[in-house]
Amino acid sequence: MNITVAGVKKEFEDGLTVAKLIELENVETPEYVTVTVNDEFVESGTFAETALKDGDTVEFLYFMGGGQPHGN
Amino acid sequence: MIRLHKEDYEKILAHARKEAPVEACGLIAGRIDGSDKYIEKVYILTNVDHAEEHFTLDPKEQLASVKDMRANGLVPLGNWHSHPVSPSRPSDEDKRLAYDSKASYMILSLMEEEPVLNSFHVENNEATKEELVIE
């Protein structure tokens, strides 16, 4: 099946999950990655159960934030 | 070296001043030529923390920005945020949350009358100032 990952169409075997895709794509620091499938945000605890289907579009977004605690 | 257009600097500065004392934030995109980065577009995003000492980019706006970059042939170069009342250097929290060692992290300080913008490379929790040219 074909999945578009970060704008690039790629072919994968059927039965692919978001967790497996993260592994196959060698996503760095996956614990800080937010995933969207067809523009819908996937709950971070459900990557292993979220199945992908032919034609899906997936984006990986890195959490971006910071802070300035008192006294720093 | 990282290069920023003067009008994009003014855009960041105007937004940061408007948002102060809340931290302002956004993304930068452009092109890479050898070891030089050229910022071609600055994105203003919502700080969903709406806080004076924290920022988190709105994920939905982040997604829209990434798509816009791709549509315009730009690559993500990093992000920027403001420090309304502290210096232009990454806090411990900023460094801890800077996961992408390829990204540039720009910080605009408004603590003095004259604003200060610096760009940093962060790797293994160590921040190194990058040469920034505003032209």
CB contact under 8 A, B97 and A29: no
Length reported for chain B:
135
Q: B118: domain range?
A: 2-134
Number of domains in chain B: 1
Residues A12, A17, A23, A27: is their CA dihedral positive or negative? Answer: positive
User: Is A69 a residue whose pLDDT tops 80?
Assistant: no
- Read off the pLDDT band of B27 (50, 70, 90): very high
**B12 near B80, Cβ under 8 Å?**
yes
Mean pLDDT score across all residues of chain B:
96
> For A42-67, what is the mean pLDDT?
94
When CB atoms are compared, the residue of B59, B81, B97 closest to A61 is B59
Chain B residues closer than 8 Å to A63 by CB: 56, 97, 99
User: Is B4 a residue whose pLDDT tops 60?
Assistant: yes
Tell me the residue type at A65: G
Chain A residues closer than 8 Å to B56 by CB: 63-65
CB contact under 8 A, B93 and A61: no
Taking the Cβ of residue B102 and every Cβ of chain A, the question of whether any pair is shorter than 8 Å is answered with no
For the segment(s) A2-62, the CATH number from 3.30.2090.10, 3.10.130.10, 3.10.20.30, 3.40.47.10 is 3.10.20.30
A67 or A48, greater pLDDT: A48
Nearest-Cα residue of chain B relative to residue A70: B53
CA distance A13 to chain B (A): 26
CB contact under 8 A, B91 and A68: yes
User: Is A67 a residue whose pLDDT tops 50?
Assistant: yes
Q: So what's the pLDDT on residue B96?
A: 87
Q: So what's the pLDDT on residue A71?
A: 44
| CA angle, residues B58, B54, B109, in degrees to nearest 5 | 105
For residue B14, the domain's CATH number is 3.40.140.10
Does the interface ipTM go beyond 0.90? no
Query: Quick one: B47 exposed, middle or buried, by C-beta within 10 A (0-12, 13-18, 19+)?
Result: buried
CB contact under 8 A, A61 and B55: no
pTM of the model: 0.92
Over the stretch B55-104, which tens digit does the pLDDT of each residue have?
A: 999 999 999 999 999 999 999 999 999 999 999 999 998 998 888 888 99
- Read off the pLDDT band of A72 (50, 70, 90): very low
CB contact under 8 A, A67 and B100: no
